[in-house]
Each structure stands twice: as C-alpha cells, then as structure tokens.
Amino acid sequence: KQLLVIHGPNLNLLGIREPGVYGAATLEQINAELTKIAEDAGAKLDCFQSNHEGALIDRVQAARADGTAFIIINPAGYTHTSVALRDALAAVALPFVEVHLSNIHKREAFRHHSFFSELAVGVICGLGPAGYRLALDYALAHSLTSPA
Ligand code: DQA
C-alpha cells in the first residue's frame, strides 16, 4: 500500500525551530522513522514537505492518481488559513489524519481553528513526533483492511 505524509511550511526547520514548542527531532529523523515503520509493515511511504501552498496542493492532487491510499498531513501554518489546501483534500476524497506536533488548543486563539479537522478521519495534536507514528499505525491498519 502507498501512503503519503505531507508536511507544511517551516517544518523543514524542525529541530532548530522553537524546540521548546516543536521538539528536538529533525524532519529527516521523523521521516526516516516513519519510512522504516511503513516498510516493516509492507507499505510504501512517500514524504513531502513544502513551504509553498501551491506545491502542497499539487502534491495532494497528484495523490489522486498515484495510488495513494491514505494521507497524513501536518498543514502547519496553513492549518489556520488555507481554504485552497482544504479544498484539494476534499477534491481527491482520500482519507487523511491531521497531525500537529504542538497542542494547538493550548496556544494562541488564532491556532484553535483548523480548516481541515471537519474533513479529517481524525486529528492528533500535542504529542510531538509520536503523533505521526500513531497516525501511521492507524493509516496502516486502515489502508490494509480497506477494500480498495
Ligand atoms: C503546527 C501548529 C501550527 O499552528 C503552526 O503554524 C505550525 C506547526 C504543529 O505541528 O504544532 O507550523 O502545525
């Protein structure tokens, strides 16, 4: 099975960026761990990060035709702003889990609203990189047992 993890803007700076909020792990370390877990489960994981809204939209649109069964997405700052990225996920109609490293609900009020949550299968926030692992566990179980 083909799974996709998408990281939004500034997540390329993980490890350097506000480590008190986002932790010490780099994006490379997170992606390497997720890729290994997926491979051990007999699945393939594609990891994509961009700081550009349009590039994120293009990657979501490509998932419609490239065999992706499930998406794990941290839209980062676009969580709170991007109708267009949300629309892309609605358009491809693939199941996705929304992940945030930090607990967005215990932060500034402008982070409390997500344009993605009502379309997501589920939302994980506040657990750091473990949130991606939990989302991947779910995606593996879901995509391996789903009929298509
Ligand atoms: C984030 C939370 C967002 O509010 C923020 O803009 C990010 C990262 C998180 O993973 O905690 O860039 O999505």
Q: What is the pLDDT of residues 51-88, one digit of tens each?
A: 999 999 999 999 999 999 999 999 999 999 999 999 99
Ligand-binding annotation for 144, yes or no, is: no
Q: Which fold has domain 2-144?
A: Rossmann fold (3.40.50)
Upper half-sphere CA count for residue 88 (Cβ side, 13 Å) = 20
Is 142 assigned a catalytic role?
no
Residues 6+ apart with CB under 8 A from 119: 86, 89, 90, 96
In this prediction, residue 143 carries a pLDDT of 82
Q: Probe ligand 1: pick from 7, 73, 100, max atoms within 8 Å of CB? A: 100
Is 100 assigned a catalytic role?
yes
Ligand-binding annotation for 101, yes or no, is: yes
pLDDT class for 144, splitting at 50, 70, 90? low
Q: What is the pLDDT of residues 26-47, one digit of tens each?
A: 999 999 999 999 999 999 999 9
Q: How far is the CA of 6 from the centre of ligand 1 (A)?
A: 13
User: CA of 123: how far to CAs of 12, 17, 72, 126, in Å?
Assistant: 21, 23, 10, 10
Q: What is the pLDDT of residues 5-31, one digit of tens each?
A: 999 999 999 999 999 899 999 999 999
Ligand-binding annotation for 80, yes or no, is: yes
Assess whether pLDDT exceeds 50 at residue 147: no
